[in-house]
Amino acid sequence: MTIMTSDARDTGAGVGERAPRVALYSHDAMGLGHIRRNLALARALAAGGARPDILLLTSAPEAACHALPDRTDVVALPGVAKNARGSYGPRRLSLAGEHLARIRADILRAALEGFAPDVLIVDKHARGLGGELEGALDALARRGTRIVLGLRDVLDAAPAARRDWRAAGTARALERWYTDVWVYGDRSVHDPLEGLEVPPDLRTRVAYTGYLARGRVAPLRGEARERLVVGMVGGGSDGQALAHAFARADLPAGHRGVLVTGPQMPARDREDLARLAARRADLEVRTFVPDGSDLIARASAVVAMGGYNTVCEALAAGTPILVVPRVRPRREQLVRAVAMRRRGLIDALHPDDLSPAAIERWLDAPGDPAAGTGNLDGLATVADLFGALVAAPRRERTVA
C-alpha cells in the first residue's frame, strides 16, 4: 500500500473533538474519469465549511500528479485493467486476478476501518470492482458510517444501464449498505435512474446535485483567453481517431494547438502523433497534463471526447467545446452529448462524421455555451449535502 500525502496540518475540530472524515473510492480500471471526479469532490469538500480529513482510495497512479487539497491523503491500490475479453486483471503485476482481488479487498478494508470515516462516497460501483468493497462496507455500516453512492449524469444507454445495474447487484447493495445516492447531474437534462430498481426506502434519499462544474475553475474574460485550441481524448486508450483528426486539422489563423493524448494511449499512436506535430509549428503534443481544467480555461475552443469531467470543466470555464463521443462499447458519451446539445450546452459531432475538415468547420464558428441551460452547481450542493450528513446523529446499523 502506498500513501501519498499533502503537507496540510490538522487545524480543525469537526465531529466531536476531531475533524469530520470522508473517504472517496473509485476503482479506476479504465480511463481517468473516476479519480478526476473524486478529486473535484475532494477539493469542494476541503473548501467547504466542514473542513474534513479526506482519504482518496484509487488505483490511478496519476492521482499523485495532481495537487491535493489540504488535509487529504491518497491510498494507491495495485492497478487493474480491462482486457480484450472485457474482464479485469492486473495492470502491471504478474499475479493471478483472484490473488490481486484479495490484495485490493484487504487493503480497502484495512484502510477504511483504520480511517473510520463519517462518510464514504463510492463512485458508481456500489459493491466495488468485483465486490472488493463488501467487507469494508459491512464493517462501516455496522459502525454507523453514512455510505453514499455517487453516480455520474449518464450510466449508459437505457437497456445497457438496466442490464448492468441488475448484473452488478446494485439494488441489493443499496438496500444492504447505502444511506444516500447522489446523482452528479441535472435531472431535467437526463435522469440516469429512470427505469432502474432503487429500494423504496432510498428513493427519498436520492439527490440530483447538478453537474460538478461551476467552481472547478474560474472562467476567464474573453480578452484573457489565449489563441489556443485544445484537443483532449481522456485517458487515451480509445482516442486515436479523434487525436489523429485533430492533429491534421488546420487551426484558425494565429492560433496554436495543444493535443493531450492521455497516458493510456498506445505508444505507437503517441509516436505517430508526435511526428505529425513535428511537421507543423502550431501544434504541441503532450501525454498528460496535471491540471486539464486550467488548460481548458485558457483555451478559446476545445475538441474532446465526451467524458464527464472534460465536459464539466469546459462548462465551468465557459469554453466552447465540440464533443466527439465514444459510441462503443458503451454509449454513455453519446447519450450525454445528445442530451447536452439539446440544451445548448455543447456542440457535438458523431464519430462516423469525424474528419479534419469537420473540426475546421466547427472552429470557424464554435457555439456559445453561455446560451445553454442546465444546473452547473453540483460541487456546492455536494459540500452542503456532506455538511448535513456529518451534522446528523450517527446511527449504527444491522447488516443482514
181 and 206 in contact (C-beta within 8 Å)?
Answer: yes
Of all residues in the chain, the percent with pLDDT exceeding 70 is 93
Rounded Cα gap, residues 344 and 372, in angstroms:
4
243 falls within a domain: yes
398 falls within a domain: no
Rounded Cα gap, residues 291 and 62, in angstroms:
11
396 falls within a domain: no
CATH number of residue 283's parent domain = 3.40.50.2000
| Residue 60 shares a structural domain with residue 31 | yes
The model's confidence at residue 199, banded by pLDDT at 50, 70 and 90, is very high
72 falls within a domain: yes
| Residue 173 dihedral angles phi and psi, to the nearest 5° | -65, -40
399 falls within a domain: no
On the question of pLDDT at 4 being above 70, the answer is no
Supply the range of the domain harboring residue 345. 222-371
| Residue 200 shares a structural domain with residue 267 | no
Say how far residue 333 (Cα) sits from the centre of its chain.
Answer: 13
Rounded Cα gap, residues 180 and 119, in angstroms:
10
326 and 366 in contact (C-beta within 8 Å)?
Answer: no
| Residue 170 shares a structural domain with residue 250 | no
| Residue 122 shares a structural domain with residue 270 | no
191 falls within a domain: yes
Specify the range with the lowest mean pLDDT, choosing from 24-38, 242-256, 368-382: 24-38
Compute the average pLDDT of residues 159-180.
97
Q: Which pLDDT does position 6 carry in this prediction?
A: 43
Residues forming beta bridges with residue 2, ordered by sequence position:
76
| Residue 280 shares a structural domain with residue 140 | no
| Residue 25 shares a structural domain with residue 123 | yes
Q: How does 20-51 read in b/e, with b if 16+ C-beta sit within 10 Å? A: bbbbbbbbbbbbbbbbbbbbbbbbbbbebebb
Specify the range with the lowest mean pLDDT, choosing from 1-5, 256-260, 318-322, 388-392: 1-5
Number of compact structural domains in the chain: 2
Tens digit of each residue's pLDDT (9 = 90 or more) over 300-323:
999 999 999 999 999 999 999 999
Q: Which pLDDT does position 198 carry in this prediction?
A: 96
Q: Which pLDDT does position 135 carry in this prediction?
A: 98
| Residue 188 shares a structural domain with residue 245 | no
Grid coordinates representing 274? 508526435
Q: Is the dihedral of CA 219, 225, 231, 237 positive or negative?
A: negative
| Residue 251 shares a structural domain with residue 359 | yes
The model's confidence at residue 28, banded by pLDDT at 50, 70 and 90, is confident
217 falls within a domain: no
| Residue 361 shares a structural domain with residue 238 | yes
| Residue 227 shares a structural domain with residue 113 | no
Q: How does 196-223 read in b/e, with b if 16+ C-beta sit within 10 Å? A: bebeeebeebebbbbbbbbbbbebbeee
Cell 500500500 identifies what position? 1
| Residue 144 shares a structural domain with residue 177 | yes
Compute the average pLDDT of residues 11-25.
74
Cell 497516458 identifies what position? 263
| Residue 339 shares a structural domain with residue 305 | yes
